[in-house]
Amino acid sequence: MSNNVNPKQRRHTSNQQNGSIFGALVLIGIGVYLLLNNLGVVTLEANWKALFSVWPVFLIFGGLGILSKQIPPPTGRLLQLVVNVGAFAFFVAVLFFTDQVPFIDQVNTAEIQREQVTVPRDGVDTAEITLDFTSRPVTVNALNDSPHLLDGRVSYTGNLRLDQSISDDEATVSLGVNSTSWWQNVTWSNEDRWEIGLNPSVATELNLDLASGASTLNLAKLNLTGLTIDSGSGASTINLPEGNYDISYDGGSGGGQINLPASGQLELIMDTGSGAVALYLPPNMEAYVIVDGGSGRWNIDQDRFQLVEKDGNDSIWQTADYTEGSENSLYLNLDMGSGSISLQTVE
């Protein structure tokens, strides 16, 4: 029986067998480096920041690799070998020998700055504070017996932006970072985080852009007059304070947990994204919930909430003793996305 193979099929099979080995070389190389480094055999320090800054070069190598597969052997195989070896050599040079290779030593590897940021209170009674976070982990707490309106420690690359103005007893503060590249905000160590304290004696309208870093927002002791949260891709835990105020929550791909207060009148408008969010409501808080359903799963404590109205994925729920304007109550308007949302009772 004849065993004829189409030349095109033979060339395609050959190209598959001799495909890119760059990925394999990188994995093997990183594994060997980490092992030897842990054993103390080598002391080379990997410059990951430099590697992130030249990432477009690897797109070029990838394009060359694709082109080389279209060239018949043996020229195509030789070109593939040259591209793979060249890409791996460039990877090693940038990662370990930044200061010794021409042009690579000029790569922008901005040093991480760590700074104490302080805004004095100076008689301020009310404030609007905007915190624009980066990809670094974030913790926000209430200050204890402090003369400052804001006091904290930040780490960043690029330019720190702190705008503040005070008029009589009112203050406006905006804190963020202007970075030249997205990779500059990648976290490299446990010290690269934000820890911000706010004065609980000042009536504060708080605006938070959470970006992609994990965030822990211990707001329970603050005196809030309003809260706006633009959630990013990082996981977040939010502890809300008692009081009468409105909350706007714009969800992203990051999941989160929101612990609601035990007293006060809250109006919470949520536009969720693909991240899962869990809300926990104390038993003494009454609630009225409007749900504009999306593709995500909706889960509510049906032992406590009554279904008032349902139309397809849209529904309205309320607790048994809810009345408009109740002293301790939550009005929740939820526009769901693709992420699952739950509302449960917590003791």
Exposed/middle/buried for 181, CB within 10 Å: 0-12, 13-18, 19+?
Answer: middle
pLDDT of residue 22: 65
Question: Would you say 295 and 313 are in contact if contact means Cβ atoms under 8 Å apart?
Answer: no
Asked whether residue 160 falls in the same domain as residue 187, the answer is yes
The C-alpha angle with vertex 20 and arms to 19 and 21, in degrees rounded to 5, equals: 115
Separation of alpha carbons 286 and 291, rounded Å = 16
The pLDDT assigned to 72 comes to 87
Report the pLDDT value the prediction gives residue 317, as an integer from 0 to 100: 97
* Domain membership flag for residue 117: yes
d(CA 290, CA 317): 7
The pLDDT, as a whole number, for residue 134 is 80
Let me know whether 98 and 200 are in one domain.
Answer: no
Specify the pLDDT at position 64.
85
In angstroms, the CA 135 to CA 193 distance is 9
Q: Containing domain of residue 40, as a range?
A: 7-106
Claim to verify: residue 52 and residue 135 sit in the same structural domain: no
Please give the helix or strand (H or E) that residue 57 lies within, else none: helix 56-69
Concatenate the DSSP letters of all residues of 264-309 into one string: SEEEEEEE--SS-EEEEE-TT-EEEEEEE--SS-EEE-TTTEEEEE
Domains in the chain, number: 2
Please list the rounded mean pLDDT of every run of 10 residues in the chain (347 residues). 50 48 74 72 68 78 84 85 85 76 56 89 96 89 97 89 94 87 49 90 97 91 97 91 97 91 97 94 97 94 96 95 92 95 93
Residue 313 and residue 288 share a domain: yes
Do 162 and 95 share a domain, yes or no?
A: no
DSSP-derived pairing of the beta strands 314-319 and 305-311: antiparallel
Residues 161, 29 share a domain = no
Say if residue 143 is in the same domain as residue 279: yes
Instruction: Report pLDDT for 181.
Output: 52
Q: How far apart are CA 293 and CA 224, in angstroms?
A: 29
Give pTM, 2 decimals.
0.71
Contacts of 264 (CB under 8 A, 6+ apart): 241, 242, 243, 244, 245, 328
What is the model's pLDDT at position 37? 67
Instruction: Report the pLDDT value the prediction gives residue 187, as an integer from 0 to 100.
Output: 47
